[in-house]
Structure 1
């Protein structure tokens, strides 16, 4: 059995809005909630709501009833939610009472938090599935990833020593619970007996307010959130220990500015499949490694392999493979060769330097092959972003009969720009085969709450043009 309350600190609590709720009180409340309306042990129960005290309480209730929680992004359309839940045969849903009617078409059984009755509780076993989380689906249909209590326990054990975690910490839930980055925050707080502080949304103002109000020791951000923190010249709170930065490429100047403001930036690498971070580096301690994603935690192994799965030497770029006790067992109802005795094929490309630090180059799906040339889109994005009039940019490959793919750029500008002059300037900097064939200027580049761009949606812009 895994008792997530065995390390509970008598003073541990959840901070939410103007409420301070002792963790033992939440434990008692969750144990009195019955989900007998849903079916037998092992069934999935989707939870759709914002990060809230209610989410945490009913998450524990789902576990107590021997069921498996499936947090879903509340911003998705019903047709998307129905398709995702249908892919794992999930027919049970818990939502806020005031929006219950909106989800009647999504699931067979829809209940509000307020409607759930009381009865006895059931414990979960150590190897049972703790949660099913969907991948972001930025390049394909979201995959359902089961993670066990064992996975989370092993994850916590692997990071505890290096990150110096303790029951006296206070974790700010600054990322959504339907994402591994946010859900792992709940688990770390529960497994360590630390405090958990919640925010109403992930807007800059809300996060800044929560930092000032709750004085958290640990906060996790994606690059877009860090940009806003730096842009608003926000300094850390007095109890600050670490700011974990992951979820995509980060700008070195922004990271350096954050360090100057006093934030202890720890860059991390991981995914839903790996139960969040598997490597880390403190930029304060290793400033020369600002371009890296750190070294693997204890009990985690990072290997770089070629196309034939042969291990590569230091500084050779290949696919990143993860071996870890925190690895998921594989996708649900999805035949995929990414999992095996070798570990997990991440589809990320990178290398390990002479000092053992991991460097991420790009995702395999992001690679552009044009006229037989392999092109890293992020190299082009960095060049484009160096222009003073550019606010943001995303470079993608669009299918083309002649070239296989052509390079296209979506550019968010601060001021008016002459496209012809812009392309001429790019030709003076980039090799001709790396110069975008098409450029679209937009007012803003849509990103999700994790700062990720849906590249398939952007491709549609060029297919229409």
Structure 2
């Protein structure tokens, strides 16, 4: 950060800017507490917090002692949180007061409370069963960040990002987005995502700009927040673009004196009419790109001076190719699996997944093609993962939860097209007998709220007698999806 007396980060919920000195003071408090608790080199710290200006301070303090941060969603159900803690060795957890009891759960631990300028009461819970390491300055190839990304089995894959991978990815972000110290970004994406962590926060800190942290996206407040804080760019997903276009308060609060340099949009392609309508209505440029947790943010981005609508842009400091019949090629206009490699791309997961890598390439599981001008077009997903407003939902995770209900004989979860969220999480259920469908629907909704994160909860529920199956009895998801799509009108739950 630059001059310590200048404002560098704002927490919208608290409606307060913090200076570089405020930021440094909070980092020092957190770091000293971690040192006192003997959290050091290579120790993994779980962070479960909503969006807050304290997030980047916590990140820096953890890295300064050489530890590794693993952020998860603040909306993670307590059962899921406890499962995460049981399966992996977290030397410490950093949470808000409402989750202290869930983390403790009869665990032998030391609980400390910190009063930060950016966060009134932060709790660090130190697991006493784990020794911890001495603090040390991390090396470039030491782990910095662990993030969960959903897999087709429903078991999240753990992505380990080193300091080198993150630095390379962030430097590419800065160059491709032409970021400078005069920029101010607003974070509306969840901070446990790579999008907020790398594309918005780390890139802005490294380029010397300012950060405005919104607890969550609010359509009615968005344009006023942009105007009041002189925001110059923001990173979003297509769902946010759609909401801003149709939300009455958002349109009322927009004024022509608002000047965004650009809006970065990724996750799934925007339809031409939506992209054009947004750029015309709000007088800014949308830059679409393609990336993922495994690549420490982006692989491709549309150039400012020559964007191609419908594409995810051109590769930027990344080698992008297509795998056809098991062979990797740069052949154009052929749809196959998108594969990538570069100085910001992982070459292994934290747990073994050798089928995700081939000859130094990462196999994304997404389908797409490169056109004659080198632009990437993402055509769909090889995997069953549902893309709900930028959140990746593993069907098996939702199926495992809903299967706990005793009236459900079988459940299949698929993604169905949704104009607002890209895909809706759709539960297709076979029940044990003839019962009240509306009552069962309400039970499904209630159970999902208790056991699943917000984005995993089904927004469409259908009851059927059977599924289309192959000769071995396995559900043919593509045919099931087609059947449900044909009956969507008037039957959405």
- TM-score above 0.5: yes
2:8 to 13, 23, 26: 13
The offset of 1:218, in angstroms, is 1.5
Is 1:328 matched with 2:343?
A: no
C-alpha separation between the residues in 1 aligned to 2:191 and 2:137?
22
Q: What SS does the corresponding residue of 2:58 show, helix, strand or coil?
A: helix
C-alpha separation between the residues in 2 aligned to 1:56 and 1:239?
26
Residue in structure 1 matched with residue 368 of structure 2 by the alignment: 350
What are the superposed Cα offsets for residues 432-465 of structure 1, whole Å, 9 maximum, x if unpaired? xx565873568978xxxxxxxxxxxxxxxxxxxx
Gaps of 5+ in 1: 369-376, 411-433, 446-465
Residue in structure 2 matched with residue 278 of structure 1 by the alignment: 299
C-alpha separation between the residues in 2 aligned to 1:353 and 1:106?
57
- Preserved contact between residue 221 and residue 245 of structure 1 (Cα < 8 Å): yes
Superposed counterparts of 1:24-423, under 5 Å: 24-33=21-30, 34-35=33-34, 36-105=36-105, 109=109, 111-113=112-114, 114=122, 123-136=137-150, 140-184=154-198, 185-232=200-247, 233=251, 234=254, 238-261=258-281, 262-282=283-303, 285-286=305-306, 289-297=308-316, 299-366=317-384, 381=417, 400-402=469-471, 405=476, 407=478
C-alpha separation between the residues in 1 aligned to 2:48 and 2:329?
42
C-alpha separation between the residues in 2 aligned to 1:401 and 1:20?
59
The offset of 1:57, in angstroms, is 1.9
What are the superposed Cα offsets for residues 266-286 of structure 1, whole Å, 9 maximum, x if unpaired? 00100000011111115x744
C-alpha separation between the residues in 1 aligned to 2:302 and 2:257?
21
C-alpha separation between the residues in 1 aligned to 2:356 and 2:150?
17
Q: 1:101 to 1:206 in 2, by over 3 A?
A: farther
C-alpha separation between the residues in 1 aligned to 2:480 and 2:238?
20
What are the superposed Cα offsets for residues 140-195 of structure 1, whole Å, 9 maximum, x if unpaired? 32211111221122112223333211111111111111011111111111211111
Superposed CA RMSD: 3.5
C-alpha separation between the residues in 1 aligned to 2:152 and 2:221?
26
- Preserved contact between residue 12 and residue 193 of structure 1 (Cα < 8 Å): no
C-alpha separation between the residues in 2 aligned to 1:312 and 1:331?
25
The offset of 1:31, in angstroms, is 2.4
Q: 1:9 to 1:24 in 2, by over 3 A?
A: closer
Q: What SS does the corresponding residue of 2:329 show, helix, strand or coil?
A: coil
Q: What SS does the corresponding residue of 1:316 show, helix, strand or coil?
A: coil
The offset of 1:231, in angstroms, is 1.3
C-alpha separation between the residues in 2 aligned to 1:392 and 1:144?
24
The offset of 1:341, in angstroms, is 4.0
Q: 1:342 to 1:248 in 2, by over 3 A?
A: same
User: TM-score, normalised on structure 2?
Assistant: 0.71
- Preserved contact between residue 39 and residue 135 of structure 2 (Cα < 8 Å): no
- Preserved contact between residue 171 and residue 217 of structure 1 (Cα < 8 Å): yes
Q: Aligned residues, how many?
A: 398
Q: 1:104 to 1:350 in 2, by over 3 A?
A: same
